[in-house]
Amino acid sequence: MNSMKSQRKEMVLRQLEGRGIRDGRVLAAMRKVPRHLFVPAEQQAASYNDGPLPIGFGQTISQPYIVALTCELLDLSGDGKVLEIGAGCGYAAAVLAELAEEVFTIERMPELAELAKENLVKAGYPDVRVVCADGSLGYPDEAPFDAIAVAAGAPAPPDHLKQQLKIGGRLVVPVGSNSRYQELLKITRLSDTDYETISHGEVAFVPLVGAGGWPDEGY
């Protein structure tokens, strides 16, 4: 266990601070959340490596740097309501739970939704709400949100998600015409009809499948 803790500290120092992540609360969250509890047993030795890892069903746990960058761009102050699209194994939702008061995460695959629930409880985050649904449509029952993070690449920023932001709310979403490579966009809602969009570089996510994303073609 001490070895895992030291690996987390090294990950934060080299992969996050070394690449320009500066938000102290994000760095503390990444130091705290036990990433090794969210990866399959056969991947545990690689838990703190600099890259994504397979978690089954054609999905991955995102690279630690991308999780930290997304969280930093969301600009969370600790008392907000956050929606994550693409729970996967639950890791990013656990990090978000260190940064926000309420976290809801949506996963379209029932098997992964159950896995995320189990992992979050095991890691000490039972209050995160995991919902099995089409994440591209957001979660209107709990809208509006202070921030929305999307962990899958969309062909365009989903309107359903933009509309579920509070005024001043932030949406971080990978967007690209190719289903495997995208730009990471931060979209801030300025008013009922106006949004500001800033690109934060190229990324590679699995596709966002659903009514507001890519069609399901075996992804």
Q: Which amino acids are annotated catalytic?
A: 62
- Could you tell me if 108 and 210 are in contact, meaning their C-beta atoms sit under 8 angstroms apart? yes
* DSSP designation for 171: E
Which tokens sit at 112? Answer: 């992964």
Question: Are the C-beta atoms of residues 32 and 5 closer than 8 Å to each other?
Answer: no
Structure tokens at 76: 């969370």
3-class secondary structure, 71: helix
In angstroms, the CA 123 to CA 147 distance is: 23
What is the C-alpha separation between 44 and 166, in angstroms, rounded? 38
CA quadruple 104, 108, 110, 114: dihedral, nearest 10: -30
β-strand partners of 77: none
Angstrom distance (rounded) from CA 141 to CA 96: 20
Mode of pairing for the β-strands spanning 59-61 and 53-56: antiparallel
Q: Which amino acid is at 41?
A: A
Q: Which residues of 4-32 are buried (b: 16+ CB within 10 A; e: fewer)?
A: eeebbeebbeebbeeeebebeebbebbee
